Structure 1
Amino acid sequence: MGQSPKNLEPTRSALHFFGAELRRLRQALGMSQADLGKLVFVHKDLIRKIEGAERRPNEELVNRCDHALAAGGALRRLWPMLERERRLRLSRDAAGPGLVFRSEATDRPVLDWLLASTHDARQHRGDDEVATAAAEKLGQLRGVDHVHGAGQTYPAVAAVLDTDLDALVARAPAIAAGFLELAGYEAVDLGVDGRAQRHYLRALDVVTGAGDRLYGGYLIAVSLAHLALHCGDPEQAARLAAAALRGTEHQATPAVRAAFRAVLARAHARRGDEAACATALLQVEADLARGKPEEEPPWIRYFGEADLADEKAHCFFDLGLHELAQREANLAITLLDPGRARRLAIDTALQASSLARAGQIDHACAVGREAVDHAAGVASFRSAHRIGLMMAELQPYSDLAAVRDLAEYVHTQMPAAVTQQSP
């Protein structure tokens, strides 16, 4: 007698989602596990274990299964998610430095920042032609990144770091840190979390040495704390945001405090602490109400209603408050610049995921199609990952026509996934 199929939770992990999709595609063709095993040259027990999320396939087997099941790339598209999940698991074991995100790697640099001079270097900038040209290039690359994703711009940013970083650190440390921050943000967008952490920590070292207390706090509370959240460590994210708030108590402007507290709210939500999250969000709103954009550092002036709505939507989604999550996601989408394709893709997919969790499947699929339209135009692992999470929410309803149609739309419209092998 054959073993009963293991119950899967597609939203639990990429491995569970892959197993559920593999099983769905195989059964749709009327194949047994033995039939598929023969086609891809493995034993049926391995197929059973992969479908049960007990074994992780390698990339070659993923490709063979995709071909054998005529999946049109549906399984291959999940490989970057599987690989990133594997790297995160390695971080708990004996992974070498730099391969993966490691929470403990931030502890000493943050302590060094806390103990360093409290000089406020917001006005420090390089005025020579080299620094001016670098600042203009940094602004241009940020703009391209927002529209097209890191797959388009990271090589150019990496080239600047390779050739000009040392000179910029000496002549214009704020601009050097800006390039490093952008490189870290783009590494996150490529799914290379360990590389992102290295870029962010190098930026923190630069601004700590330059005495730029406030920008250092931003790198800790926003860049590194968001990365900790992205890598599944809300405890570390909360510690980082709290450290930055304490360390900039006498320098932080309203918008800076608001951005720091928004990350703290996200950490509370991820931990399931609704009361602490609500308190932090109220403080964010109060901070923003007191702020004057012209008095804020240039690097924080972006943080406004659209960004707050985005942070709230993620908080409410994590807390299971789906009506509120959908409202805030819709507000963020409405307020965002139409050119911010990656952010629109992420927020629209989050809204669709929330609708799916609330059982509004037809509406979720309609919104999900809009998310795919946004994501199709950007070279971004984060966008593709968010679409994958959205489809994981809908996987239990894969027998419905609307979900099948959306899955087919994803397969035909989404570009090849941006992977960890990117430069």
Structure 2
Amino acid sequence: MGQKPGELEPTRSALHYFGAEVRRLRTARGLSQAELGRLLYQHRDLVRKIETAQRLPSEEFVGRCDDALDARGALRRMWPMLVRERRLRRGGDPAGSGYHSEASDRPVLDWLLAPDTSRRGRADTEASLSARQTLRSLRELDHACGAGAAYTAVAGVLEDGLDEVVAASPEVATGLLELAGYEAVDLGADGVAQRHYLRALEVVGATGDRLYGGYIVGVSLAHLALHCGDAEQAIRLATAALQGTERHAGPGTRAAFRTVLARAHARRGDERACMASLQEVDADLSRRSAGEEPGWIGYFGEADLADEKAHCFFDLGRFDLAQQEASRALRLLEPMRVRRRAIDAALLASCLARMGDLEQACAAGHVAVRQARATASFRAKHRVALMMAELHRHGHLPEVKELAELVRATLPTSTAAGQGAATRPSTAR
């Protein structure tokens, strides 16, 4: 007798989703695990372990499986996500380029204990104005096209003239490093992102800009920790930022820190702590006055807050509230923020799928795919994959089949997945 197939949860991880897709495609073609193994020149036990999420596949296995099962790129598209999962499971790769929570501990402690010598407001020079314009242009490129299109340009600026930018405008240099870190996350290169952020913290610490340092700690590094599955570290970092900027942070900046706290509490399943943090965020934003916050926090408004709340409520299993906030975010987001619109549309589709409204879920999914194909973003395509994992058990329905076909036809089968970022270690000290 054959073994009973192991239970899979496609929404649990990229590995579970990949295994579920391999099993679905194999059974649809009437193949046994042994028969698929012969087509792949692999033992049936390896097929079984991969289908049951007990074993991470190799890139060769993924490619051959895609060909043998006529997946038309659907399996190859998952490879970057499987690579990232492997890195996180191993705590970083053997070369040390992966994300490590503990690597942030000492730099953040040094920042927290350093004397408060904040001295912002340096007069602009021609060089600093030019650097500021470069940073503004690169941010616009990132918003519109994603890191796959923008990271090389950002890293090139850092590689060719970071010291000059630091001398002309430390704040702009920190902004460039922070943007490089954000884009490295968007490429799936979490370890590279961490090193960009820590270099930014080093620059800002040397110049005494306490408030911007708090942003690097409480938003950039804390969001990265959350992105890599370490909610406890995210809480520590956001708390450190609140404490370290107590004398300097305005309500808008505090709201950004507390939003990360809310996200981390939600990820831990602590609804009471999450809701308490969100109440503080709302109170902070109600006291915010135009012009009193630094320019780099100006982006954080109602659209971003709705996005953050949607993710909080989704993690807490409050899918009705998550659906409302994701819809609100999409209404408020500017059209140029293509990556964020893709992520929120995919999140909305996932919420609707959990609520059983599959027709509307697929409608939102179509929006997500159209937005995702317009941006070279690992995170956007990752969120689309998570959306499809939510719909996996409904794959027999015509509307889900149509959406899956749209994904296969319009999204590329791979992303940069950190390859571009990994080739520039000199800018990520």
TM over 0.5: same fold?
Answer: yes
Q: Give per-residue Cα distances to partners, 1:331-371, cap 9 Å, x unaligned.
A: 00000001111000001101111111122222211111111
The reply to whether residue 316 of structure 1 matches residue 313 of structure 2 is: yes
Instruction: Give the drift of 1:95.
Output: 4.2
Instruction: Give the drift of 1:120.
Output: 2.8
Q: Give per-residue Cα distances to partners, 1:275-298, cap 9 Å, x unaligned.
A: 111111111111111111211100
**What CA distance in whole angstroms lies between the structure 1 residues aligned with 2:81 and 2:134?**
32
2:112 aligns with one of 114, 119, 125: 114
1:362 aligns with one of 337, 340, 359: 359
Q: Equivalent residue for 1:386?
A: 383
Q: Equivalent residue for 1:140?
A: 137
Q: Equivalent residue for 1:76?
A: 76
**AA of the residue aligned to 1:194:** G
Q: Secondary structure at the match of 1:82?
A: helix
Unaligned runs of 5+ in 1: none
**What CA distance in whole angstroms lies between the structure 2 residues aligned with 1:422 and 1:387?**
22
**AA of the residue aligned to 1:63:** G
**What CA distance in whole angstroms lies between the structure 2 residues aligned with 1:2 and 1:124?**
73
Q: Equivalent residue for 2:5?
A: 5
Q: Give per-residue Cα distances to partners, 1:112-143, cap 9 Å, x unaligned.
A: 11122323333135x33322211111100100
**What CA distance in whole angstroms lies between the structure 2 residues aligned with 1:122 and 1:63?**
53
Q: Equivalent residue for 1:372?
A: 369
Q: Equivalent residue for 1:343?
A: 340
In the alignment, is the contact (CA less than 8 A) between 1:384 and 1:417 conserved in 2? no
1:183 aligns with one of 171, 180, 185: 180
User: After the TM superposition, which residues 208-223 of structure 1 pair with which residues of structure 2 at under 5 Å, given as runs?
Assistant: 208-223=205-220
Q: Equivalent residue for 1:15?
A: 15
Unaligned runs of 5+ in 2: 422-429
Instruction: Give the drift of 1:46.
Output: 1.2
**What CA distance in whole angstroms lies between the structure 2 residues aligned with 1:343 and 1:273?**
26
Q: Give per-residue Cα distances to partners, 1:71-103, cap 9 Å, x unaligned.
A: 1100000000000000011117x8443x11111
The reply to whether residue 406 of structure 1 matches residue 403 of structure 2 is: yes
* Dislocated runs of 4+, deviation >3 Å: 94-97
**What CA distance in whole angstroms lies between the structure 2 residues aligned with 1:339 and 1:416?**
24
**What CA distance in whole angstroms lies between the structure 1 residues aligned with 2:194 and 2:288?**
30
The reply to whether residue 231 of structure 1 matches residue 228 of structure 2 is: yes
Q: Give per-residue Cα distances to partners, 1:30-52, cap 9 Å, x unaligned.
A: 12212211211111121111111
Instruction: Give the drift of 1:320.
Output: 0.4
In the alignment, is the contact (CA less than 8 A) between 2:131 and 2:169 conserved in 1? no
Instruction: Give the drift of 1:416.
Output: 3.7
**AA of the residue aligned to 2:236:** R
**What CA distance in whole angstroms lies between the structure 2 residues aligned with 1:222 and 1:121?**
21
Q: Secondary structure at the match of 1:296?
A: coil
**AA of the residue aligned to 1:367:** A
**AA of the residue aligned to 1:116:** A
The reply to whether residue 284 of structure 1 matches residue 281 of structure 2 is: yes
Which is further off, 399-408 or 199-208?
399-408
Q: Equivalent residue for 1:39?
A: 39
User: After the TM superposition, which residues 241-260 of structure 1 pair with which residues of structure 2 at under 5 Å, given as runs?
Assistant: 241-260=238-257
**What CA distance in whole angstroms lies between the structure 2 residues aligned with 1:322 and 1:363?**
14
**AA of the residue aligned to 1:302:** Y
In the alignment, is the contact (CA less than 8 A) between 1:369 and 1:406 conserved in 2? yes
In the alignment, is the contact (CA less than 8 A) between 1:146 and 1:342 conserved in 2? yes
**What CA distance in whole angstroms lies between the structure 2 residues aligned with 1:191 and 1:214?**
28
In the alignment, is the contact (CA less than 8 A) between 1:157 and 1:183 conserved in 2? yes
**What CA distance in whole angstroms lies between the structure 1 residues aligned with 2:315 and 2:119?**
37
**What CA distance in whole angstroms lies between the structure 2 residues aligned with 1:416 and 1:165?**
34
**AA of the residue aligned to 2:182:** Y
Q: CA RMSD in A?
A: 1.2
Q: How many residues align?
A: 420
Q: Equivalent residue for 2:58?
A: 58
**What CA distance in whole angstroms lies between the structure 2 residues aligned with 1:102 and 1:161?**
23
User: After the TM superposition, which residues 327-338 of structure 1 pair with which residues of structure 2 at under 5 Å, given as runs?
Assistant: 327-338=324-335
Which is further off, 402-411 or 127-136?
127-136
CA gap 1:137/1:23 in 2 versus in 1, 3 angstroms: same
The reply to whether residue 67 of structure 1 matches residue 59 of structure 2 is: no
In the alignment, is the contact (CA less than 8 A) between 1:120 and 1:251 conserved in 2? no
Q: Secondary structure at the match of 2:420?
A: coil
Q: Equivalent residue for 2:425?
A: none
**AA of the residue aligned to 1:5:** P
**What CA distance in whole angstroms lies between the structure 1 residues aligned with 2:126 and 2:304?**
34
Q: Give per-residue Cα distances to partners, 1:5-58, cap 9 Å, x unaligned.
A: 111011111111000000101111112212211211111121111111111110
Q: Secondary structure at the match of 1:264?
A: helix
1:420 aligns with one of 413, 418, 421: 418
Which is further off, 40-49 or 297-306?
40-49
In the alignment, is the contact (CA less than 8 A) between 2:120 and 2:209 conserved in 1? yes
Instruction: Give the drift of 1:226.
Output: 0.4
